[in-house]
Amino acid sequence: MADADAALLDALRAGDEAAFATLVSRYHTRLLRFAESLVPSRAVAEEVVQDTWLGVVRGVHRFEGRSTVKTWLFRILINRARTAGGREPRSVPLDDDVLEGRFATSGAWAEPPAPWADAVDDRVVAGKLAGRVRECLPRLPEAQRQVLVLRDLEGIDGAEVCNLLSVSPGNQRVLLHRARTRLRSLLAAELGGG
């Protein structure tokens, strides 16, 4: 294809518009995809690619063939993207306090980030399970439901639950145990485990 590209450039130098159209159809999508990795938005990437094609038309007579046409096109694109990138920053800089402690003096992570794929799966499953738990709660006796919600969902400690519901510590533990057992049975029955 390198020889075919060079032939297209020769034809373009001679004023052949069809040669330009062929070159554009061959490289436009590839240039756009690459430009999107260099600039902040698709709109800016499209502008950079258009500027690249203008650069090709204006500079076709200066192409000396020291590289492939493809390399020349991508070099023009990079130069146009740098200019556009200077006008439109790609990202907002982070405050120093956000980065503090995340990197060692060597530049490596102080503590590597946890893999997120597993956490996503866990969150999806937990979200579905939480929905099922909410649906099963009304099927628990009132006292059991109150203790379970306060202890397990709200995170209130046993002594506070006893004060809130005016139950003894022993009764609170029995109600919590029975609520958890009943909820587990309801979920197992719905999920096919029992």
With 80 as the cut, is the pLDDT of residue 120 above it? no
Long-range contacts, 65-70 (Cβ 8 Å, 24+): 65/6, 68/2, 68/5, 69/2, 69/5, 69/6, 69/8, 69/9, 69/23, 70/1, 70/2, 70/5, 70/27
Convert the pLDDT of each residue in 41-61 to its tens digit. 889 999 999 999 999 999 999
pLDDT higher at 145 or 50: 50
Give me the mean pLDDT over the 147-156 stretch: 81
pLDDT above 90 as % of the chain: 26
**How does DSSP assign the chain, residue by residue?**
-HHHHHHHHHHHHTT-HHHHHHHHHHHHHHHHHHHHTTSSSHHHHHHHHHHHHHHHHHHGGG--SSS-HHHHHHHHHHHHHHHHHHHS-SSPPPPHHHHTTTB-TTSSBSSPPPPHHHHHHHHHHHHHHHHHHHHHGGGS-HHHHHHHIIIIIS---HHHHHHHHT--HHHHHHHHHHHHHHHHHHHHHHTT--
Q: What is the per-residue pLDDT for 90?
A: 47
The Cα–Cα gap between 16 and 11 comes to 5
Distance of CA 2 to the CA centre of its chain: 37
Convert the pLDDT of each residue in 125-144 to its tens digit. 667 777 788 788 888 887 89
CATH of 2-87, one of 1.10.1740.10, 1.10.490.10, 3.10.310.70, 3.30.360.10: 1.10.1740.10
The CATH 1.10.10.10 domain(s) of the chain lie at 132-190
Give me the mean pLDDT over the 175-191 stretch: 88
The closest alpha carbon to 79, from 21, 31, 43, 13, belongs to: 31
The Cα–Cα gap between 109 and 19 comes to 51
Convert the pLDDT of each residue in 82-96 to its tens digit. 887 666 554 445 455
Cβ burial of 78 (10 Å; 0-12, 13-18, 19+) is middle
CATH topology of domain 132-190: Arc Repressor Mutant, subunit A (1.10.10)
pLDDT above 70 as % of the chain: 77
pTM confidence score? 0.46
